[in-house]
Amino acid sequence: QVQLVQSGAEMTKPGASVRVSCKASGYTFTNYDISWLRQAPGQGLEWVGWISVNNGNTNYAQKLQGRVSMTTDTSTNTAYMELRSLTSDDTAIYYCARHLTSLGRGVAGYWGQGTLVTVSS
Amino acid sequence: DIQMTQSPSTLSASVGDRVTITCRASQSVSSWLAWYQQKPGKAPKLLVYKASSLESGVPSRVSGSGSGTDFTLTISSLQPDDFATYYCQQYNSYPWTFGQGTKVEFK
């Protein structure tokens, strides 16, 4: 069965960087794109960006451009999301999500368990 | 960016009630509309995609409809497991955008 297992909670300081990992299993990793989303405490869902696992193409939320990077390691079936120059506004649960289908417009069909990133001095 | 507006923000209901949540897009998203259910402390779960396609394993009391800018999620007979927060999301174009959520709570 499809599983996405994310790395553990992170507590970091303003100005620092964080990298969250998302290890996939139960399917052919390169056949499905991955999106990252986040949810600030008590708030709704926000799309962070998307990566094509097949060719590495990315698309990031405009507000995070220049601070976010998404990569994948096909040898370990792992996706990564790095966010730099953190502020308290970046405090959130970060989710990776595999797209439901391999073709056409993607939708977040399978989700990781979430990684809490806390930014505090 | 496409704005998604859900209503109501909170819905008080009882087991067995028929509940409907609406979602409006600021411009047409065709049928590229999804609905998710989220319970406290859990990741969202996909319920409906392409406006009306039920994800595998989702009970048939859940249904989605609409196209263009106006969409609805209906639960025909609310069950205890359905008390949760629901989000609509457009994936017609990036950036994906979400409604603000509808919390379904016990009346």
Neighbouring-strand partners of residue B21? B73
pLDDT one-digit tens code per residue, A24-53: 999 999 999 999 999 999 999 999 999 999
**pLDDT > 90? residue A115:** yes
Using the beta-carbon criterion (under 8 Å), do B95 and A35 form an inter-chain contact?
no
pLDDT one-digit tens code per residue, B32-70: 999 999 999 999 999 999 999 999 999 999 999 999 999
B88 CA: distance to closest CA in chain A (Å): 10
pLDDT attached to residue A97: 98
Q: Kindly compute the dihedral angle of the four CA atoms of residues A91, A96, A99, A102, in this order, to the nearest 10 degrees.
A: 140
Neighbouring-strand partners of residue B56? none
Chain B hits for A94, CB-CB cut-off 8 Å, are none
Q: If you ran DSSP here, which 8-state letter would residue B69 be given? A: T
pLDDT attached to residue B58: 97
**pLDDT > 90? residue A101:** no
Residue among B32, B43, B46 whose CB faces A95 most closely: B43
- Give the B window 64-103 contacts with A, CB below 8 Å: 87, 89, 91-92, 94-101
Q: Between A and B, how many CB-CB pairs are < 8 A?
A: 54
Query: Percentage of residues in chain B with pLDDT exceeding 70?
Result: 100
pLDDT attached to residue B59: 97
CA distances in angstroms from B58 to A34, A44, A100, B75, listed in the order given: 22, 22, 15, 11
**pLDDT > 90? residue A104:** no
Using the beta-carbon criterion (under 8 Å), do A105 and B32 form an inter-chain contact?
yes
Using the beta-carbon criterion (under 8 Å), do B94 and A59 form an inter-chain contact?
yes
Beta carbons of A88 and A119 less than 8 angstroms apart: yes
What residue in A sits closest to B95 (Cα-Cα)?
A: A61
Beta carbons of A11 and A85 less than 8 angstroms apart: no
**pLDDT > 90? residue B101:** yes
